[in-house]
Each structure stands twice: as structure tokens, then as C-alpha cells.
Amino acid sequence: MALERGRSAQRAPIHEQLEQALREGIRSGRLPAGSRLPSSRSLAARLQVSRGVVSEAYGQLAAEGYLTKRQGAPVRVSPAMRSAEQHAPAQSLAPSHAYDLRPSLPDLAGFPRDRWLRSLRAALRESPISAIGYPDPRGTPQLREALGDYLARARGAATDPERILICTGFTQGLSLLCRAFAAQGISAIALEEPGWHAHRLIVEQCGLKVLPIAVDREGIDVDELARSDASVAIVTPSHQFPTGVTLSPRRRAALIEWAQAADGLIIEDDYDGELRFEGGAIGALQGLAPERVVYAGSASKRLAPGMRLGWLLAPSWTSWSLSVAKAVEDAGSETIGQLALADFIARGELDRHLRRMRSVYQRRRAALLGALRRLMPAAKPTGSPCGLFEPVSLPGGVDEHALLAAAAAEGLGLEGLALHRFHDREPAHPGLVLGYGALSEPAIERAIHLMAETFAHLDVRETGGRLARR
């Protein structure tokens, strides 16, 4: 037993150290199911601790189901641990790579843990006890007020805390919207083509049809949208995913005009609007027409996706139905994280974090572009200086799927443009969406080196245009 070794290194009470040592012994199988443990008196004497320490540890582990205790009988490891021993360790569905160039992750190592912990402590210390009861399904008033202030000054949104709905990430917010549309008789939603594949998955999961609308260098083609049967469109105007273009001023005005003329609704996915490296900030589309635009944002790219906090700023005529749908679905998102984020925003920590991360991401993008020029000139960057990803085009004969599979075998995570195409109206030009947010500059250099090596070992055959190992 490792209790004696751990005493000097750990600050936990002795009974908790004993609990942990026994718990680990049972989980690892060193103390098998049904095995007999020493009496509390005997073990206390061996460890030179009071008998009460051992009794407290035994009592806690019995309450957790690890041990069985009966009056007059020895303490034993619970028989239930026998079945637990047969289980393989829990596995994650999320793929893992030594070098991950997929575009979904921000810099997790840059998450401000100490400052977030300060906000967590403040939330627990300063909030009334009622704050951890059943919440307002729209979200805590503190976070809705803090977000209202932040979105107004940082994104130019027309805000009202009464119209802000806190969700468990952007995904839940869009799902709530789509189900509300289906209930109102809407059968189809327009999506950018190419566009984020998760938009399509969520829309289709809710039983709605996808209407792909082409994207060019100015953003979504509003003329094509007007010719469609859509009354709802999902767009990423500040930084289109995955092409990286920004919706032009002319198209922004045309999109608002479409929504007004068609009695339509725009869903603005503003996933990384604050992460621009050059030029002035581009305000949210919602600020131009708050009754025709649902503004959607989240903490995923701004802080960390694992926080599972998102928000909708909805038109007045939709906010109540969305609040009811949220209340029915889960009675509201967890409150401690909401209160912490409210404090984090109010103290200026979110602004401070984003200012710092813009510099970090700008350097990483420069490292990515430099490595591509030197190591893989066949991959041509086509994006703009903002966000967490860079789209690149590949030579016409490249098979994206073969390249991605070969890279994964080398420990390199890549994402192809084909994943985000919904429509086969013309032959798709191959490409990648390279994320640079989660890797340091040296790691980016190594990742592009691996990608170039992988590419060099694949041959574009004249017949079929598919990549194969040389």
C-alpha cells in the first residue's frame, strides 16, 4: 500500500489518502473481489494511525460500493468489483493524432486556467444559494446581461438580455431553431455551399431539407438564394467556413433585403468574429436587422469547446418559443459555468484573452503559410488573415480521401474540403482546411513536413486521377 509514500507529498487528510490507496488497489485488481481486508484496529496499528481514520476510510468506500461491511463479519472487497474488473478501459470516440491540423480546435494550452478559476470561485462565493437551484431556462440573468453588453460593444449587435438564450453550445441552439421551424411548417433551409458539414447534419436530423446555395469570393450568392424556395438561411458572414471569405458589403445589404422581401430569417453563425488579424472589426449582421437575424455564438473558438456554452440572440417574435423549447428539452444549461463566464466577461478577461490570442494565432498562421511555401508549394493557401484555419487548394488529380488516410496513418490529422460539400453540381476541386490554432509554431512546422512527406509518397496516376502508394 502506497499510503506511507504519499503522506509527505500529499496534503489531503490521512483518511482520504487511505481511501485513494484502497480504491486504486481495488480498481487495478491488486485487491480482487471478495478479498478480506484487515480489521480497522489491525490496519490502524500497521499504519500507525488512529482507528477512526481507518473506520472513516472503510465507511466511505462501503458507501461508494467498493467494500461490503456487516456487523461481526470481516470487511471485504465487494463482489460487484468482479464484473468491473472484466471491463476494458473507457475509450473516447474523438480521434487522436500526434499532430492535429483539423480546423475545429482553438489553443487549448492557452486557456487562461488561473483567471477562469478566479471567476469560478467568485461565482460560487458571491452568488446567492438560489443560483444553483433550477435555473431560468433562458440562462442566468448575470450571463445574459454580461453577454448583452459584450456583444453590443465587441460585435455591434443590437442586444436585449431578454432576447438572449443560453444553450449547451451552438449545436443545441441550431437544433432548437430547426425543430421550431419544422413545427411551423418550414420544410427546407438554405445552407452555404460549401459550408460547415455540421450545419447540414443538424438540419437533416431535424427532418428538414437542405437547399445548397453557392458561395463565391463575395460570400453566399443572394441571387441564387432568392430563386430558391427557402425562407430561412444559415450563413457565416464574418468568416465563411470553409472558404474563408468575408461577405461583401454589397451582399450583406442584398441578404438583408432578401430576408425583408421574402419574410425570411437569417441565422448568423458568428463562430470566430473577433479573431481578425488585419483591418478593422466586421460587425455582426444582426446589428443591421435585429428582427430578421438570429445571432448565434459560443465559447468554443473564443475559449474552449469543452465549456459547452453557446448563445442565441433572437428576434422578439421568436424568443419566447425558443425559451419554451429550451425549457422542455433540458430545463436550462448548468449554472456554475454561466456565472463564471459572466464574471469573466465583466472583469474584462474575455477581451484580454482574445487580444492575446489574436497575436498567437497570427503568428501561427504565418508559420503555417511559411512552411507550406517551403515544404509543400503544391498546396496553395486561399484564405484571409483571420480565424483558426487556412483553406488550401491541391493539384487537380489528388484524391483527398487517400491523402487523409495516409496522413492519419502517420499520426497527422487533416480535414478535406469534400467533407463540407453538399452538392455535386460540378467536379469538386480537391483541397484541405488546415487548422493552426491548437499547435505551436514548431509543431506546425513538423506537421507540414509530415504532410509533405505523405504527399510525396503518393502518386497521381493518369488513369482515374487517384492517389496510390509508390
- Confidence check: pLDDT of 4 > 80: no
In-domain check, residue 99? no
Q: Is the pLDDT of residue 253 over 80?
A: yes
d(CA 1, CA 280) in angstroms, rounded, equals: 62
Do 313 and 460 fall into the same domain?
Answer: no
Lowest mean pLDDT among 2-6, 111-115, 182-186: 2-6
Give tens-digit pLDDT for 398-416.
888 999 999 999 999 999 9
pLDDT tens for each residue of 170-192: 999 999 999 999 999 999 999 99
Question: What is the per-residue pLDDT for 186?
Answer: 94
5: pLDDT confidence band, cut at 50, 70 and 90? very low
User: Which pLDDT tens digit goes with each residue over 381-393?
Assistant: 999 999 999 999 9
How far apart are the C-alpha atoms of 113 and 100, rounded to whole Å?
22
- Residues of the domain holding 118: 111-351
Residues 171, 273, single domain; the answer is yes
Cβ neighbours of 100 (radius 10 Å): 21
| Same-domain pairing of 368 and 452 | yes
**Structure confidence at residue 420 (pLDDT):** 95
Res 469 pLDDT > 70 = no
Which of 296, 325, 351 is at the close of a domain?
Answer: 351
Looking at the structure, tell me whether residues 27 and 127 fall in a common domain.
Answer: no
Residue 41 pLDDT > 50, yes or no?
yes
pLDDT, residue 114, reads 96
- Per-residue pLDDT at 466 exceeds 50: no
> pLDDT digits over 356-379, tens only?
999 999 999 999 999 999 999 999
The gap from C-alpha 173 to its chain's centroid, in whole angstroms, comes to 13
CA neighbor of 318 nearest in space, from 190, 199, 188, 160: 160
Domain boundary, last residue among 39, 67, 85: 85
Give me the pLDDT at residue 103, please: 94
Res 83 pLDDT > 90 = no
Q: How far is CA 24 from the centre of its chain?
A: 32
Name the domain boundary from 335, 351, 367.
351
**Structural domain includes residue 98:** no
Provide the mean pLDDT of the chain: 90
pLDDT band at residue 85 using 50, 70 and 90 as cut-offs: low
Task: Identify whether 90 is part of a domain.
Answer: no
Rounded Cα gap, residues 434 and 391, in angstroms = 6
Same domain for 314 and 396, yes or no, is no
Q: For position 252, which CATH number holds?
A: 3.40.640.10
For the chain, what is the domain count? 3
Percent of the chain scoring above 90 in pLDDT = 79
Check residue 8 and give its pLDDT.
42
Question: Do 190 and 74 reside in the same domain of the chain?
Answer: no
Position 293 pLDDT exceeds 50:
yes
- Within a domain: 100: no
Q: Would you give the distance in Å from CA 411 to the centre of its chain?
A: 22
pLDDT band at 294 (very low <50, low <70, confident <90, very high): very high
Q: Are the CB atoms for 331 and 187 separated by under 8 Å? A: no
The answer on pLDDT for 468 being more than 80 is no
Q: Are residues 262 and 290 in the same domain?
A: yes
Rounded average pLDDT over 123-128:
89
pLDDT at 96: 80
DSSP output for 195-231: --HHHHHHHHHTT-EEEEEEEETTEE-HHHHHHSS-S
- Once rounded to an integer, what is the mean pLDDT over residues 80-100? 73
Lowest mean pLDDT among 14-28, 72-86, 211-225: 72-86
Which DSSP letter does residue 17 get? H
Domain containing residue 427: CATH number: 3.90.1150.10
Helix (H, G, I), strand (E, B) or coil at 399: coil
Query: What is the rounded CA–CA span in Å between residue 395 and residue 379?
Result: 7
Is a pLDDT exceeding 70 seen at residue 460? no
Beta-bridge mates of residue 189: 210
Residue 84: per-residue pLDDT: 54
Residue 332 included in any domain: yes
20 plus 150 within the same structural domain: no
Lowest mean pLDDT: which of 23-32, 246-255, 344-353?
23-32
The average pLDDT across 289-294 equals: 97
Cell 429550451 sits on residue = 326
Give the DSSP letter string of 57-126.
HHHHHHHHTSEE--TTS--EE-TTHHHHHTSPPP--SS---SEE--TT---GGGS-HHHHHHHHHHHHHH
The percent of residues above 70 in pLDDT, for the chain, comes to 93
Q: Are residues 258 and 196 in the same domain?
A: yes
Answer yes or no: do 193 and 270 share one domain: yes
